[in-house]
Amino acid sequence: MSRPGQTLAVKCFAAFSILVAAMTNILNVRLALRVQVIFLVAKVFSLTFIVIGGLVKVLQGSTVIEENFDVENAFQGTQFSLNTLGKALLQGLWSYGGWSNLNYVTEELNRPEVNLPRAVLIAISLVTTLYLLVNVSYLTVMTPKELMSSSAVAVTWGNKVLGSWGWVMSVAAALSAFGSLNGTFFSGGRVCFVAAREGHMPDILSMAHVHRLTPSPALIFTTIISLVVLIPGDFQSIVNYFSFTAWFFYAIVLSGLIYLKIKKPDLPRPYKVPIVIPILVLAAAIFLVLAPIIDNPQIEYLYVALFILSGVIVYIPFIHYKLCPGMLDKLTVFLQLFLEVAPADKNL
């Protein structure tokens, strides 16, 4: 199959996976949660298997890992610049970005003021430890050059370590990717749902299915956006521009947090952290946003910035001044009847 044909096939399969994840979350919340648990267990089992495989290679006296961790070879061929460092951090931090999804489902947590910080600390600690051990395992059989050139590192590791059974890691990688996709739909749909409930998006997105009790309009909207983003972009570009946008908004949120902690110290705060922590994270967010632009400006970052700023054009008339065209009300009623949805009083 030609390279364009391969790209088209990959995108078609990605679109199919998006639709399956969307339908899973639209049909039943419990089904989506069960799917998430199953794929999470499969992912952790796969990562643990990789760690054990790396440990076996170390005990067998792997020479590759000795060469990789030699001081003279460790950074051989490394290119250092603000642009490469910023992109490396954006892509690396994207792997740990699941922590932010917990914030989207706080209304569904019991005692969130206790369980949310606990979940974040435990999850990040476990994931960081597991991912570090997995990367060490990769380096027991792969050189940094092989690791960087591989489009699926776990699959390459499996081919080297498992031989004819290397396809098992291909299946594991696919299961891991779908689990992440399902979790993103579960949390991302609720972002649109809550934003609409607060009046920042069309009312139809704040409604839930009258029988299934799922935020189906918000999930359908998320699906459409996902499919549109999938058409022009490749994986690396999507990660870079998504991470750039995410850290841009993190910087805005952290700026507001620091302002409120200084100007309004008496506000009730269920989640409390020392002010030095948001200051440090804000500094990191500013660096991650500016580094790729300053060192190697690309027109795509301008498109992303213009897209973000275009929200002001929508916000001022429709949110601030609460303008509502009559056609929008008719469309809302039509979609409400067609999708069998009704306004919801709380998160789902």
Residue 3, pLDDT above cutoff 70? no
DSSP state letter for 200: S
pLDDT at 240: 77
Angstrom distance (rounded) from CA 29 to CA 213: 8
Enter the pTM of the model.
0.81
Residue 347, pLDDT above cutoff 60? no
Angstrom distance (rounded) from CA 102 to CA 129: 19
Domains identified in the chain and CATH numbers: 3-343 (1.20.1740.10)
pLDDT at 71: 65
Mean pLDDT throughout 4-20?
87
Angstrom distance (rounded) from CA 243 to CA 289: 9
Residue 202, pLDDT above cutoff 70? yes
Residue 1, pLDDT above cutoff 60? no
Mean pLDDT throughout 259-268?
89
Within a 13 Å sphere around the CA of 75, how many CA atoms are in the beta-carbon half?
4
- Phi, psi angle pair for 110, to nearest 5°: -80, 130
pLDDT at 35: 92
Q: Are 116 and 269 in contact (CB under 8 A)?
A: no
What tens digit of pLDDT does each residue of 329-338 get?
Answer: 888 899 999 9
pLDDT at 257: 92
Region for residue 80 given its phi and psi (left: phi exceeds 0; alpha: psi -120 to 50; beta: otherwise):
beta
Give the three-class secondary structure for 152: coil
- Nearest CA-CA partner of 244 in 198, 292, 197, 310: 292
**Confidence category of residue 49, pLDDT binned at 50, 70, 90:** very high
**The Cα angle at residue 245 between residues 242 and 249, in degrees rounded to 5:** 135
Q: What tokens were used for 290?
A: 């500016």
In sequence order, what are the residues at sequence separation of 6 or more whose Cβ sits closer than 8 angstroms to the Cβ of residue 68?
Answer: 74, 139, 143, 144
Angstrom distance (rounded) from CA 38 to CA 99: 19
What tens digit of pLDDT does each residue of 270-284 get?
Answer: 878 889 999 999 999
Q: What tokens were used for 100?
A: 């932010």
Q: What tokens were used for 11?
A: 């995108």
- Nearest CA-CA partner of 118 in 225, 271, 269: 271
CA-to-CA dists, residue 132 to 51, 63, 136, angstroms: 9, 19, 6
- Nearest CA-CA partner of 25 in 197, 218, 195, 203: 218
Q: Are 319 and 325 in contact (CB under 8 A)?
A: no
In sequence order, what are the residues at sequence separation of 6 or more whose Cβ sits closer than 8 angstroms to the Cβ of residue 93?
Answer: 243, 288
